[in-house]
Structure 1
Amino acid sequence: MTSASPRLSQEQGNRHLKSNVNTTNRIGHLLRWFRDNGGWLNINIRIAYDQSRGFHAQAVDSLTAPFFVATCPIDLTLSYLNLDNSQKFVPHVESPLRELLGQVPSHVLSYLFLIEQTKIGHRSRWAPYISCLPGPKDMTTPIWFDDEDFKILEGTNLRKAAAERLGTLERELDSAKEIMHGLGWSDVEKDKYDLTSFKWAATIMTSRTFTSSKILPDLPKFGVLFPIIDILNHDVNAKVGWDFVESQSFSLKVFTDVEAGAEIYNTYAPKANDELLMGYGFCIPDNPVEQSTIVARTPPGLIPTDWFTSDLIPFAMPESLLDDYRDHEPQLLRTRGHPFGRYESMIPFFRGFPPAIVFITYLITLHTRNIDPRTVSLPYPGGRIVFAILQQLYRAIDARCNAIPPREPLPATANEKQKFAKIYRDGQLKINLALQDELRYAMGKVMNISTTPASFMHNLLANPCIITTTEATQVLEAEFPLYYTQFKKGMQSQWEFDVQTDIKALSTRSISEDKLEDVLWTILLVIYFTVSATSPDSLINRWVQELLTSYPLLPNIASDFSFDEDSLPEVAFDTCEGCREDRMGAIWDMVAQLERQGPGLRSRAFLWAASVVQGERIDSSNLPHPPKYLRTCLYMEPVNATRAEDYFS
């Protein structure tokens, strides 16, 4: 729906229009023209102008609700329809633009018609009305921004949106001029419709028009200018009614008392600042309905089309998300306490994200792990999947936060466009920071694992966690102290440093193309796999069993199977083989003897461990509050942990 230009109430801030000269005379001419042509304005209301509020409606005496402000007959409306001789609703206007009827979109023809009526001056029947419209120099929507203004929008959605909008207007004007050329118009006639005038007319029509559907319901929808009614400023708290009489008139009614001298407002429903700035050229500081747009897209062909079905939707999210995705319309991020509410999901920290975004992220998570969604238990697909989605959303929000420059005070010389742009930018950053904090807190719940001896194992047995090889070796020490000693001795002999305490060496060294800690994780997981069967009740066994649900062992392979040269399994295998050959302990013999338990089992164990590391590795730099040294972390969750779901839902 299009609407009249909603400028701000004094409580919210002011979107004023600048006057040149003789505003009183212009208002007088406007009112005489309006009344002489069937318009009605409440005798206790006047049209006034000042620098802070621009043209606005003001109560002369106290007004008791409900009361009507004004009635505009359809005869005074302005739109492309005035060019159409085939209709009887509005007066016809003789114009060369009639030749473009049916050849250009109706909204483009309305822009061109407004330009024409402006350029002919007093000869236009709407001249008194047009004289009170803001000019190009008064415009503050982003399509009027210069490079300095755009710097404030850096990192926000509106910079791109403004460029796309301007590109659309340029194409529409070029197309219209091509049609004019084909109709034999001269260059002089065509040049009346320059880009600046076209931008101006588009801004007027998109910011001040009301939809035709209420007054002309049988025609395709288009924007209509209603003089006088469109002069009222916007206040989101105003209580008003729009009274349309089909094919006849539009009246504005107010449902709250207004004191003498007070301004009278219209409202167009709550709008976020991106819509206000892009459409109307102003923003509301601390806008209570502020939201941030995000688009749900996936690379073509990445996700099988048969995955987009209602029976595969997780987290008890609504089926309507499928329509939201197919429409490719921008989605909206919402913070806690938003007046419109948040989205349906059994996972609290996903509720700020549109369900279509969460669903796509879920499907990508399954795709990268080669998991068929039809094999996943729903509505809760497990903590590992939840945390993987959480990571991706966190990275996306973190990138959005980093893309927006730090908030700095504007210089005293800042213009109106820059002031509104900063209000918008600060609001966008505030939303994304709030969502970042919410996701960071959720991630922190599985990161804040106590390492004190009394509670360390208890916490890990009960909860999911994110750990490095440091904590993983601590668990090995707690549950299998002899194997831990042999493992630590073997690694120290092989690499000549303590893999549990020398964090700097662990985080900075590499083997071939692989980070050393990745190799160590692979070896640890092979050891976990090897010893887990010896202690079914151990935490290590519960971790391994949970990992096997997402990363099952490959089918049998030949016992003489060889890895690719320089691959992660090969490096890890060689490390273990080197330690075994040095006879560093029984743990290495146990790994070697996996072959006795099944053909190729040792090779399959290494491939399994490497696939877990490659699929699940988390760089600590991607986590909130990263440590001094870059570490490789894994998400670990005991199988059938009763509290795992509680952590996320």
Structure 2
Amino acid sequence: MSCPHSLIYDWDKAIALIPESLRRSILDRSPPNEHPIWVFGLAAEYLKGESSFFYPYIRILPTVEKLAGGGFLHGQDWGEAVKGTNLEPNLNDRISTWKDEWKWVVDCCNREGGEWVEVAPMLTWELYLWSAVVFSSRAFPDSLMTPDSPSASPTRERESDTEISRPMLVPLVDMLNHKPFSQIVWMKGPENLTLCSVNDTPEGQELFNNYGPKSNAELLIGYGFCLPDNPFDTFQLKFNPPLMPRQKLIRDKQRATFLKNEVIKDNVYHIYIPSNPDAKLPSRNKCAFPQSLMTLVQLLVCNRRELSHLISNPATNPVSLRNSLARDQQLLAAIQKRIPLYTTRRPPQNHLQETINIHLDSQLRILRYAQDELLQALQVVTTPAGRTQVNAIALEELLANDAPFRDAVEGHFGSDDADTLRESGTGEAVFALGISRKLHLYNTDRKSPYLSKEWRNWLEKRIFKFFPYPFKPSKALLEDVDWKQCEQRRNVGAKWVWEDVLDEGREPGCFSRRDGWTLGLVIWGMRVWEEESWKVGELEGIELAWE
């Protein structure tokens, strides 16, 4: 399919339609923006009617009423369908930007005077929106017209997709629909620009273009349609947490080395269903989450020891089992928080809302895939007894498998129910006491039925390696500001446990100083709990990793 060069609406034709003084006035903004020139030029041609050179092209375009006067990109038709989803801010930002441009152009026309004062009231918001949508959905990069541009182009670019070329409208050619993986070739002849399909297309069958690897959000907002099984669809997760000095140092090292090829724009990360190896898709991780996001969350959940290790070895992955589980749990909480936004929706009232639902279904499919992937990694499948698998130990596990400890907790805290203890704010103290209890049994009665082989292995092979008892901090650690602050907070908590729970008057038993408990033992238990635990969701307790 070919289009004569003379019919292409490019930059030279756009600026020829607007007087230089008006053009300068429109561009006199900070930062300079050419988009209003393109949109205003086409809208002005629309107002000329049949006297416009581009009238034959304009009359076959979708009408203003269809694109702007209550149809595509009209807020009422999107309404509740996109509320709370990623589409809502994208749509609002685009409409807000275009409306701001429109007001500026109308103001410039009034200040220009002459015939442009008469144009200003005719340049309605609906007309400007129509013209902006035409460019958003139909523009190609004008690099296709340059002699040194490649003849083969797998994409159809909008003006926002490239910074090295300007947009142009190519009548008739822009009518071709999109089909992923279609192979096309652009050829610039002396008089025509031609798009050729490399694929065999039988006579009478539709000829397709290839707009490139675009997500459904891009297709919906840019072109007004979605693909039910779009292999390039992603779920966007915006995440820009504040980093402490040590974390920032590590992150800078990561970006300068193994993350240097990952481009993160506006702190947006793309979650996706990994590629089918048989499909010719861009290289992706084997998991749903990009490496840049995984390492960022990994950094945020690091304990002091893990941070020290990453400073010397920023590419370490995994850092530890505890860190991996903490990272995956935080990602799971983020995913599960968003799933309801895509499951609750009203029946579609028109074609646009049906199209939006295709996008929402695709987003939900990605979220559920990511959720299943994380659940499999975490292996926190709950049994009827409320216990987790062997990779993690929860407060319920400590209470269920140690009757003396459970009875002592109920006697002092008024309940042996894990949820009740968490809600009362004492769950963390009970967990720390439970860990101290295991060490106490290890030192006094290793054959105790309440000290399983798994617990002995965990203490011997992991905990004593990092938390020797009694604990003697090194000189460097004593001078570490972060450690000092943590230690001060920990000691306050340990002192409360020591004075309130392990009082001298208590009879020998689970929580008795007379039974060999010491303040050092309590501090040790709280240190292990703080360093080795991670939160499950926001209010669902703490779990420990078996290494």
TM-score higher than 0.5 here? yes
Deviation at 1:302, TM superposition (A): 7.2
Distance (Å, rounded) in 1 between the aligned partners of 2:337 and 2:307: 27
Residue 534 of structure 2 aligns with which residue? 616
Instruction: Give secondary structure in 2 for the equivalent of 1:366.
Output: coil
Residue 208 of structure 1 aligns with which residue? 138
When residues 237 and 308 of structure 1 are mapped into structure 2, their CA distance, relative to the original with a 3 A threshold, is: closer
Distance (Å, rounded) in 2 between the aligned partners of 1:312 and 1:197: 45
Residue 494 of structure 2 aligns with which residue? 569
Deviation at 1:355, TM superposition (A): 1.6
When residues 97 and 131 of structure 1 are mapped into structure 2, their CA distance, relative to the original with a 3 A threshold, is: farther
Deviations 1:65-113 (A, max 9, x none): xxxx3x22222111332155xxxxxxxx454366305546333211111
Q: Do residues 135 (structure 1) and 60 (structure 2) align?
A: no
Matching residue's letter, 2:455: I
Residue 240 of structure 2 aligns with which residue? 297
Distance (Å, rounded) in 2 between the aligned partners of 1:95 and 1:82: 9
Residue 40 of structure 1 aligns with which residue? none
Structure 1 residues 459-470: aligned runs within 5 Å: 465-470=391-396
Q: Do residues 192 (structure 1) and 122 (structure 2) align?
A: yes
Deviations 1:172-199 (A, max 9, x none): 2233344445544664333333221111
Deviation at 1:168, TM superposition (A): 0.9
Q: Do residues 157 (structure 1) and 86 (structure 2) align?
A: yes
Deviation at 1:424, TM superposition (A): 0.8
Q: Do residues 390 (structure 1) and 300 (structure 2) align?
A: no
Specify every segment of 5 or more residues in structure 2 that has no aligned partner in the other structure, as ranges: 149-162, 479-486
Structure 1 residues 101-500: aligned runs within 5 Å: 101=24, 103=28, 105-139=33-67, 144-184=73-113, 187-216=117-146, 221-236=165-180, 238-245=182-189, 249-299=192-242, 304-310=247-253, 318-320=258-260, 323-325=262-264, 327-328=265-266, 330-338=268-276, 339=279, 340=281, 343-344=284-285, 351-366=287-302, 371-372=307-308, 373-374=310-311, 378-406=316-344, 409-410=347-348, 414-443=349-378, 445-447=379-381, 465-473=391-399, 485=404, 487-488=405-406, 490-491=408-409, 493-495=411-413, 499=416
Instruction: Give secondary structure in 2 for the equivalent of 1:163.
Output: helix
Instruction: Give secondary structure in 2 for the equivalent of 1:324.
Output: coil
Kept in 1: contact 2:299–2:307 (CA 8 A): no
Distance (Å, rounded) in 1 between the aligned partners of 2:82 and 2:241: 26
Kept in 1: contact 2:395–2:542 (CA 8 A): yes
**Percent sequence identity over aligned pairs:** 19
When residues 586 and 157 of structure 1 are mapped into structure 2, their CA distance, relative to the original with a 3 A threshold, is: closer
When residues 303 and 115 of structure 1 are mapped into structure 2, their CA distance, relative to the original with a 3 A threshold, is: farther
User: Which region of structure 1 is more displaced relative to structure 2, 302-311 or 283-292?
Assistant: 302-311
Deviation at 1:388, TM superposition (A): 0.6
Matching residue's letter, 1:569: A
Select which of 529, 537, 540 maps to 2:439.
529
CA RMSD of aligned residues (A): 4.0
When residues 307 and 132 of structure 1 are mapped into structure 2, their CA distance, relative to the original with a 3 A threshold, is: same
Distance (Å, rounded) in 1 between the aligned partners of 2:414 and 2:56: 89
Distance (Å, rounded) in 2 between the aligned partners of 1:593 and 1:621: 30
When residues 115 and 554 of structure 1 are mapped into structure 2, their CA distance, relative to the original with a 3 A threshold, is: farther
Kept in 1: contact 2:506–2:513 (CA 8 A): no
Structure 1 residues 46-125: aligned runs within 5 Å: 69=1, 71-84=2-15, 93=16, 95-96=18-19, 99-101=22-24, 103=28, 105-125=33-53
Select which of 518, 523, 536 maps to 1:604.
523
Distance (Å, rounded) in 2 between the aligned partners of 1:539 and 1:388: 21
Distance (Å, rounded) in 2 between the aligned partners of 1:524 and 1:163: 51
Q: Do residues 543 (structure 1) and 458 (structure 2) align?
A: yes
Distance (Å, rounded) in 1 between the aligned partners of 2:400 and 2:456: 15
Deviation at 1:343, TM superposition (A): 3.5
Distance (Å, rounded) in 2 between the aligned partners of 1:105 and 1:586: 73
Distance (Å, rounded) in 2 between the aligned partners of 1:391 and 1:300: 19
Instruction: Give secondary structure in 2 for the equivalent of 1:616.
Output: strand
Deviation at 1:469, TM superposition (A): 3.2
Matching residue's letter, 2:498: F
Kept in 1: contact 2:502–2:511 (CA 8 A): no
Instruction: Give secondary structure in 1 for the equivalent of 2:211.
Output: coil
Distance (Å, rounded) in 1 between the aligned partners of 2:321 and 2:515: 29
Matching residue's letter, 1:528: K
Kept in 2: contact 1:154–1:404 (CA 8 A): no
Deviation at 1:593, TM superposition (A): 5.4
TM-score (norm 2): 0.78
Kept in 2: contact 1:291–1:332 (CA 8 A): yes
Distance (Å, rounded) in 1 between the aligned partners of 2:505 and 2:227: 72
Q: Do residues 517 (structure 1) and 454 (structure 2) align?
A: no
Give aligned pairs, total.
502
Specify every segment of 5 or more residues in structure 1 that has no aligned partner in the other structure, as ranges: 1-68, 85-92, 478-483, 595-599, 623-631, 639-649
Deviation at 1:416, TM superposition (A): 1.6
Matching residue's letter, 2:545: M
Distance (Å, rounded) in 2 between the aligned partners of 1:515 and 1:576: 15
User: Which region of structure 1 is more displaced relative to structure 2, 253-262 or 123-132?
Assistant: 253-262
Instruction: Give secondary structure in 2 for the equivalent of 1:371.
Output: helix
Distance (Å, rounded) in 2 between the aligned partners of 1:94 and 1:473: 79
Distance (Å, rounded) in 2 between the aligned partners of 1:431 and 1:206: 26
Kept in 2: contact 1:152–1:421 (CA 8 A): yes
Deviations 1:537-570 (A, max 9, x none): 954344346356777858499xxxx998996534
Distance (Å, rounded) in 2 between the aligned partners of 1:548 and 1:188: 83
Kept in 2: contact 1:150–1:159 (CA 8 A): no
Distance (Å, rounded) in 2 between the aligned partners of 1:564 and 1:329: 33
Residue 509 of structure 2 aligns with which residue? 585
Kept in 2: contact 1:523–1:609 (CA 8 A): no
Deviation at 1:224, TM superposition (A): 0.7
When residues 393 and 142 of structure 1 are mapped into structure 2, their CA distance, relative to the original with a 3 A threshold, is: farther
Deviations 1:612-644 (A, max 9, x none): 58x63436965xxxxxxxxx3422314xxxxxx
Q: Which has the higher helix share?
A: 2
Deviations 1:457-512 (A, max 9, x none): xxx9xx9522233422566x5xxxxxx74x45544543566x4xxx3xx43257xx
Deviation at 1:209, TM superposition (A): 1.4
Select which of 538, 544, 547 maps to 1:635.
544
Distance (Å, rounded) in 2 between the aligned partners of 1:403 and 1:283: 19
Matching residue's letter, 1:469: L
Kept in 1: contact 2:178–2:209 (CA 8 A): yes
Instruction: Give secondary structure in 2 for the equivalent of 1:159.
Output: helix
Distance (Å, rounded) in 2 between the aligned partners of 1:133 and 1:488: 74
Kept in 1: contact 2:506–2:512 (CA 8 A): no
When residues 634 and 236 of structure 1 are mapped into structure 2, their CA distance, relative to the original with a 3 A threshold, is: closer
Q: Which has the higher contact order (CA 8 A, sep 6+)?
A: 1
Distance (Å, rounded) in 2 between the aligned partners of 1:305 and 1:633: 27
Deviations 1:421-471 (A, max 9, x none): 11111111111112112212222x25568989xxx9xxx9xx952223342
